[in-house]
C-alpha cells in the first residue's frame, strides 16, 4: 500500500466565503487557516499547497473576547531608532479591520515560502461586498 502524495497539478481549488459578523477572532482565524492549508480535504499533503481561496467579509464586525479590544496591541517597528509603533486593537478595528484578521490567520500558517503562498489566497474585506462573484464562492459555516 502506497501513501498518497498530492501533486500541484492535480489540485482543484475552490473559493469559500467566511462571514465575520459576530464571530470570535480566533475561531474565524482557525477556520480560515484550515481552508487555506487544505486540511479539510482528504488529499492534504503537508509539503504541498492543497488549500482553497478564502474570502472574509464583514471584518469590522468581528468579536474580541475579554479586554482584548483595549489591551491587545499590534506592534510594528520601522527598523530605525525610535521606530516602534503600538496600536490597540480597538483603534485598529475602527481604521483597518482587515489587518486584525490577516495578522491572526498569518500567525496560524507555516513560517516559510509555502505559508506565504497560502497567505496570498486570503482576501479580507471590510464590508459585505467583494469583487470575487465571478469565482462563484461557496459560503462556509464557522463552527465556533
- Residue-level pLDDT, tens digit, the chain, 144 residues: 788 899 999 999 999 999 999 999 999 999 999 999 999 999 999 999 999 999 999 999 999 999 999 999 999 999 999 999 999 999 999 999 999 999 999 999 999 999 999 999 999 999 999 999 999 999 999 876
Q: Is residue 50 part of a domain?
A: yes
Establish if 119 belongs to a structural domain.
Answer: yes
Q: Domain of 112: which CATH number? A: 3.90.1180.10
- Domain assignment present for residue 72? The answer is no
> Look-up: residue for cell 473559493?
15
- For the chain, what is the domain count? 1
Residue 73 lies inside a defined structural domain of this protein: no
Report the distance separating Cα 52 and Cα 32, nearest Å: 10
Q: Give the whole-angstrom CA distance, residue 54 versus residue 130.
A: 12
Residue 144 has what pLDDT?
60
**Cα 105 to the chain's mean position, in Å?**
4
Let me know if residue 26 belongs to a domain. Answer: yes
Amino acid at each position: 500500500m502506497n501513501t498518497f502524495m498530492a501533486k500541484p497539478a492535480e489540485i482543484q481549488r475552490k473559493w469559500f466565503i467566511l462571514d465575520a459578523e459576530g464571530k470570535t477572532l480566533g475561531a474565524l482565524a482557525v477556520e480560515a487557516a484550515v481552508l487555506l492549508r487544505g486540511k479539510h480535504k482528504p488529499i492534504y499533503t503537508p509539503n504541498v499547497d492543497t488549500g482553497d481561496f478564502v474570502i472574509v467579509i464583514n471584518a469590522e464586525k468581528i468579536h474580541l473576547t475579554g479586554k482584548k479590544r483595549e489591551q491587545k496591541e499590534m506592534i510594528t517597528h520601522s527598523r530605525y531608532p525610535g521606530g516602534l509603533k503600538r496600536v490597540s486593537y480597538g483603534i485598529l478595528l475602527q481604521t483597518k479591520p482587515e489587518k486584525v484578521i490577516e495578522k491572526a490567520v498569518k500567525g496560524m500558517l507555516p513560517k516559510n515560502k509555502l505559508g506565504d503562498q497560502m497567505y496570498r489566497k486570503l482576501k479580507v474585506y471590510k464590508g459585505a461586498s467583494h469583487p470575487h462573484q465571478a469565482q462563484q464562492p461557496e459560503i462556509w459555516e464557522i463552527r465556533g
